[in-house]
């Protein structure tokens, strides 16, 4: 099967050997995504704003690979302060209220930059391909 990838242009992608997202057949995987834009953290100190930015970035990656948020079946949220779960959850709900994928939120010790509060990865399956357009 062909692999189609989305890259961010980050200088770290070739060094570490990764891409933002990859599509193989009807499956799309989006790598852990943080609130970084042009090397700067977006929404410093604001868990809701960071989560929204991350989810918008993920939505863009899905679209570049022919998917959409309604194709998402799993989200994983890695947060540095679980006590802020309601703010992270509010943003997640705005994007996935009708989709309702399985979701995991876990607290981690740290992310790549100490100003980052959340990192999200998703799995999506493009059912319209496998079911010949039937849902």
Query: What gap in Å lies between CA 70 and CA 57, rounded to an integer?
Result: 15
Query: What gap in Å lies between CA 113 and CA 41, rounded to an integer?
Result: 8
pTM as predicted: 0.91
Query: What gap in Å lies between CA 128 and CA 34, rounded to an integer?
Result: 29
Task: Identify the pLDDT of residue 135.
Answer: 42
Band of pLDDT at residue 128, cut at 50, 70 and 90: low
pLDDT tens sequence across 90-110: 999 999 999 999 999 999 999
Task: Identify the pLDDT of residue 12.
Answer: 81
Report the CATH fold assignment for 3-130.
60s Ribosomal Protein L30; Chain: A; (3.30.1330)
Query: What gap in Å lies between CA 90 and CA 128, rounded to an integer?
Result: 29
Q: Which pair of tokens denotes residue 125?
A: 């399956």
Task: Identify the pLDDT of residue 11.
Answer: 84
In the chain, DSSP assigns E strands to 3-6, 21-24, 27-33, 36-37, 40-41, 72-79, 102-107, 118-125
**So where are the chain's domains?**
3-130
Q: Which pair of tokens denotes residue 20?
A: 């933002």
User: Beta strand pairing status for 40-41 and 36-37?
Assistant: antiparallel
Determine contact, residues 119/111, Cβ cutoff 8 Å: yes
């Amino acid at each position: 099967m062909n692999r189609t990838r989305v890259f961010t242009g980050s200088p770290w992608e070739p060094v570490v050997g990764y891409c933002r997202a990859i599509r193989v057949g009807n499956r799309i995987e989006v790598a852990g995504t943080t609130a970084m834009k042009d090397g700067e953290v977006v929404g410093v100190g604001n868990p809701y704003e960071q989560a929204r930015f991350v989810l918008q970035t993920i939505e863009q990656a899905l679209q570049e690979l022919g998917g959409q948020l309604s194709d998402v079946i799993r989200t994983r949220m890695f947060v540095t302060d679980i006590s802020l779960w309601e703010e992270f959850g509010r943003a997640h709900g705005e994007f996935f209220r009708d989709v309702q994928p399985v979701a995991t939120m876990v607290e981690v010790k740290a992310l790549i930059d100490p100003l980052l509060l959340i990192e999200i990865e998703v799995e999506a399956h493009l059912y319209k391909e496998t079911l010949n357009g039937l849902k």
